[in-house]
Amino acid sequence: MLNRPLNALLLTTDAAAPGWEAGRHPRGRLAALFGVLMVAFLGIAARLVFVQTQLGDVYAAEFEKTSQRREPIPSRDGRILSADGQVLAEDVVLYGLAVHYRWLEEPVDPGWLRQQVLARLDRIARRDPQRVAAESAALLERREALWHRLERATGLGQAELAGQRRAIQRRVEQVYELVERGRDAEQSDRDFDARPAAESAWWQTAWQTVVTTLTTPPQREALEPLVIQEQLDYHRLMSEIPLARAVEIESHPERYPGTRIETRTRRVYPQGPTAAHVVGYRTPVGDDAIRVRRQEFPKGDPLDYQAGDRQGRSGLEQYYERHLRGLRGERRVVFNRRGEIVESRVVREPRYGHDLMLSLNLPLQQACEQLLDEQLQSERIDPASGQPLPIPPGGALVAIDVRTGAVLAAASAPRFDLGLLGDSDRGRWSETLADPRKPLFHRAAAMTLPPGSVFKAVSAAAFLESGRLDPEREFACQGYLDQPDRYRCYTFRHFGVGHGDVNLVSALARSCNVYFFAAARRIGPQPLYDWASKFGFGQLTGIDLPGEAAGQLPPDPRGGQNGTLSKKQRATAPEPLQLAIGQSKLTATPLQVARMIAAFANGGRLVTPRLADSAGPAALSTQSADATALPAVDPVPIPELSSRTLQWLRMGLQQVVAHPQGTGYKTVRLESVAIAGKTGTAESGGGRPDHAWFAGYVPAERPRIAFVVVLEHAGSGGHAAGPVAREFVEALLALGLLDAPPIQAPSAN
């Protein structure tokens, strides 16, 4: 039975089964199975045809998937120009050359090379190995030709260019290694966390495996190739290339593939150290400053500062920040998946800042700075005594128009070189910061010193307007007021003699302290305080510069509202005798003294010093339609200052230089032009030399320019500051800035 044929057995069995028709359609099941398979295969084939014909663009789009980002377009801040159109500060456009990392990488990345080749071939050509190999060779040749062209375009040698490429690649590879180590460490931590606990039972391990399998998405066993953003970016190969080369590269992308021209601006100061304190400087805004401004303006920064923007930090750059600052634009850049640029479109045009035209006369400013430099660099001999004068640690020279207050020169010494900011010379910048003479300190606007005898002009105005002093009445000066060791004249301290009989004019001309001590004792401190306040002491001048100091005016002798002085006020109340000669606790800036002397020259009006020209929009930038003129500030008449008082005071100021016994006769007087002014020697204390002042105006008969010279710890005002004042007036004449009337013979008084 077991040896019977199998078919017979099956037929026998099937025949016995109910419902089975033996021998009918023996191939039916095979045909049905074949039909099912054919349907499946036809479905797969149809799907392949559909994918190839209908979804090709979809897959190609995924392959060519792009990304975009917004990049800033640099703007240009306004220029700062001197009165004669010389550029003191401006933005220059710099063009840099950037190259895509894959185009500079050596050896070439195989994956990137294959992607580039396949992107250049159609679907059929991609299946042809010979076509692929030929396109690969052509791409490598094009890559090599690029670097030969860049050698000629940049002027760099092959070795230097290769060195820069290696430096960029080394930097990117270091980043790659750091990211790769981090990824490997993260994968190791995941593998460690996925291990089953050693103490778990077999059924717990099996259950955990089932749960993980059902709830966790499948993961690749092998990590995908790592690609970092730096490998998809453009890297700056050169910071600066000539404009012609930039245009050539930008206009021929087919000859310079994988390159990009970057545009940025740099603030430059063509005049270097000239007027450095006045011009000031701009520096990039840091992230911390951005956060602070966002806290100050939670609804939006009105100046739209972003990291990398420049902000004025000192001088006119800071004061006119809103006027000078431009707003950068924005560009939308589209990149393919390989990091190459496929589209670039400007979405917001940059807006340029306004130019700023100054009243500053550049040749005069340079002459003033040279005069101060000479004082600080070497020892000078006193022309009167033949003795060496102390070398001052610093000084200032200010010149303003007596009618408008326009600043013609504002020199401070020592000074710094604004070019250090653009050159990024850290060594020289550190030396500048460490200089004990403080070259960054703007002495013309922020240095406060006792004005000394130059203040006697204000005291004389107080004496005359009090009505208790006859300007023609003579007073006998014995060199001291009451005691030989107190309230003395300069001549008595140094030569042991007094001035003899003097009146108001001769007391001003010869700078007789005793005359002013006696007059101050007669009228008391209140008129001196009032007139010092009227002439602007203890107040800001209002110059368009940040960081101006107000100086110090001693407390009002009248005290508070009840007219009594507190204990502290009595301790600091002005001592009328010392205040009369510009000492006591009185301090002033060179700008304040220049404004004071200008008031005597212009008929009693207090001007506001201004650096920015307010001539109108034509003097400003024409790059923007909303350019506006800067407002002018009209001079303010000094109340209660009579023309009679001005006449006496101007007579005395002229005699300082014109009279043979005047303190400025030997050192300030010129034959070609009449100079009026006042010397000042301010005690500094501590055993150090006195501060030297000279404040004056020219021409004396028809004043146009008021000026102040001050030298720290330089000694006598007449001997140290006087010669500088004379050389300054000579510079005015040489530059043609004075229309001098003829010299008149000095009065016999």
Q: Whole-angstrom Cα distance, residue 669 to residue 344?
A: 69
Fill in the DSSP letter of residue 359.
Answer: -
Torsion of CA 104, 110, 113, 119, to 10 degrees: -140
What is the number of other CB atoms lying within 10 angstroms of the CB of residue 484?
13
**Position 310 pLDDT exceeds 90:** no
Q: DSSP of 394-448, one letter per residue?
A: -EEEEEEETTT-BEEEEEEES---THHHHHT-HHHHHHHHH-TT-TTS-HHHH--
What is the number of other CB atoms lying within 10 angstroms of the CB of residue 533?
14
Share the mean pLDDT of the chain: 84
Q: Whole-angstrom Cα distance, residue 477 to residue 512?
A: 8
Name the residue among 647, 670, 648 with its Cα closest to residue 658.
Answer: 670
Q: For residue 572, report the phi and psi dihedrals to the nearest 5 degrees.
A: -110, 10
- Name the amino acid, one letter, at 487: Y
Q: Which residues contact 68 (CB under 8 A, 6 or more apart)?
A: 332, 333, 334, 335
Listed ranges 43-47, 112-116, 181-185, 368-372; the one with the highest mean pLDDT: 368-372
What pLDDT, on a 0 to 100 scale, did the predictor assign at position 51? Answer: 67
For strands 705-711 and 395-401, give the pairing: antiparallel
Query: DSSP strand E in 191-246: where?
Result: 234-238
- Tokens representing 461 are 């105005």
- Tokens representing 445 are 């606007």
For strands 500-502 and 475-477, give the pairing: antiparallel
For strands 259-268 and 388-389, give the pairing: unpaired
CA distances 51 to 55, 124, 585, 724, Å, are: 5, 16, 94, 91
Please answer whether residues 451 and 588 qualify as being in contact, where contact means their C-beta atoms are separated by less than 8 angstroms: yes
Please answer whether residues 78 and 354 qualify as being in contact, where contact means their C-beta atoms are separated by less than 8 angstroms: yes
What pLDDT, on a 0 to 100 scale, did the predictor assign at position 515? Answer: 96
Residues across the chain: 749
Q: Whole-angstrom Cα distance, residue 693 to residue 711?
A: 7
Per-residue pLDDT tens digits for 69-82: 787 778 889 999 99
Per-residue pLDDT tens digits for 660-688: 999 999 999 999 999 999 999 999 888 89
**Position 198 pLDDT exceeds 60:** no
- Name the amino acid, one letter, at 343: E
Q: Which parts of 544-680 fold into alpha helices (H)?
A: 567-572, 576-580, 590-601, 643-658, 665-668
Lowest mean pLDDT among 542-551, 564-573, 614-623, 697-706: 614-623
What pLDDT, on a 0 to 100 scale, did the predictor assign at position 197? Answer: 54
Lowest mean pLDDT among 168-172, 187-191, 218-222, 616-620: 616-620
CA distances 268 to 265, 406, 652, Å, are: 9, 25, 47
Please answer whether residues 340 and 62 qualify as being in contact, where contact means their C-beta atoms are separated by less than 8 angstroms: no
Residue 9 confidence class, pLDDT cut points 50, 70, 90: very low
Q: DSSP of 227-288, one letter per residue?
A: --GGGGSEEEEES---HHHHHHHHH-TTTSTTEEEEEEEEEE-TTTTTTHHHH--EEEPPHH
**Position 545 pLDDT exceeds 90:** yes
Please give the average per-residue pLDDT across 551-577, as a whole number. 65
Residue 191 confidence class, pLDDT cut points 50, 70, 90: low
Q: Which residues contact 501 (CB under 8 A, 6 or more apart)?
A: 474, 475, 476, 477
pTM, two decimals, is 0.80
**Position 301 pLDDT exceeds 90:** no
For strands 705-711 and 234-238, give the pairing: unpaired
Q: For residue 605, report the phi and psi dihedrals to the nearest 5 degrees.
A: -115, 135
What is the number of other CB atoms lying within 10 angstroms of the CB of residue 287?
9
Pairwise pLDDT comparison (566 vs 43), residue with the higher score = 43
For strands 67-73 and 341-348, give the pairing: unpaired
Q: Would you call 466 exposed, middle or buried from its count of C-beta atoms within 10 A (0-12, 13-18, 19+)?
A: middle
Q: Whole-angstrom Cα distance, residue 728 to residue 394?
A: 17
Q: Whole-angstrom Cα distance, residue 173 to residue 195?
A: 33
Per-residue pLDDT tens digits for 311-353: 888 999 999 998 998 888 888 888 777 667 777 788 888 888 8
Lowest mean pLDDT among 249-258, 513-522, 600-609: 249-258
Pairwise pLDDT comparison (523 vs 300), residue with the higher score = 523
What pLDDT, on a 0 to 100 scale, did the predictor assign at position 747? Answer: 45
- Tokens representing 381 are 């001999």
Residue 380 confidence class, pLDDT cut points 50, 70, 90: confident
**Which residue is it, tokens 């990149």?**
335
Please give the average per-residue pLDDT across 100-109, as a whole number. 92
CA distances 86 to 39, 93, 278, 356, 628, Å, are: 88, 19, 15, 11, 21
Q: Return the CATH fold of 362-416+441-562+571-614+642-734.
A: Beta-lactamase (3.40.710)
What pLDDT, on a 0 to 100 scale, did the predictor assign at position 121? Answer: 87
CA distances 279 to 337, 409, 415, 416, 675, Å, are: 48, 12, 12, 11, 30
Q: Which residues contact 694 (CB under 8 A, 6 or more apart)?
A: 454, 664, 668, 677, 678, 679, 680, 708, 709, 710, 717, 718, 721, 722, 724, 725
Q: Which residues contact 688 (CB under 8 A, 6 or more apart)?
A: 713
Fill in the DSSP letter of residue 702.
Answer: S
Fill in the DSSP letter of residue 81.
Answer: E
Q: Whole-angstrom Cα distance, residue 544 to residue 91?
A: 22
Fill in the DSSP letter of residue 188.
Answer: H
Listed ranges 31-40, 53-62, 199-208, 275-284; the one with the highest mean pLDDT: 275-284
- Tokens representing 231 are 């490998």
- Name the amino acid, one letter, at 736: G
Q: Would you call 141 exposed, middle or buried from its count of C-beta atoms within 10 A (0-12, 13-18, 19+)?
A: exposed
Per-residue pLDDT tens digits for 451-462: 999 999 999 999
**Position 534 pLDDT exceeds 60:** yes
**Position 476 pLDDT exceeds 90:** yes
Please give the average per-residue pLDDT across 400-412, as a whole number. 96
What is the number of other CB atoms lying within 10 angstroms of the CB of residue 164?
17
Q: Whole-angstrom Cα distance, residue 684 to residue 714?
A: 11
- Percent share of the chain, pLDDT over 70: 82
Residues facing residue 310 across a β-bridge: 284
Please answer whether residues 96 and 261 qualify as being in contact, where contact means their C-beta atoms are separated by less than 8 angstroms: yes
Q: Whole-angstrom Cα distance, residue 143 to residue 138?
A: 9
**Position 367 pLDDT exceeds 80:** yes
Q: Whole-angstrom Cα distance, residue 450 to residue 579?
A: 10
- Tokens representing 522 are 């007669």
**Position 123 pLDDT exceeds 90:** no
Please answer whether residues 716 and 684 qualify as being in contact, where contact means their C-beta atoms are separated by less than 8 angstroms: no
Half-sphere exposure of 407 (CA within 13 A, CB side): 33
Pairwise pLDDT comparison (415 vs 115), residue with the higher score = 415
Q: Helix, strand, or coil here: 381?
A: strand
- Percent share of the chain, pLDDT over 90: 53
Multiple choice CATH, 62-86+271-357, 2.40.40.20, 3.30.2130.30, 3.90.1310.10, 3.30.450.20: 3.90.1310.10
Pairwise pLDDT comparison (521 vs 348), residue with the higher score = 521
Q: Whole-angstrom Cα distance, residue 534 to residue 552?
A: 14
Pairwise pLDDT comparison (608 vs 290), residue with the higher score = 608
Listed ranges 24-28, 191-195, 583-587; the one with the highest mean pLDDT: 583-587
Domain spans of the chain, in order of start? 62-86+271-357, 97-176+227-258, 362-416+441-562+571-614+642-734
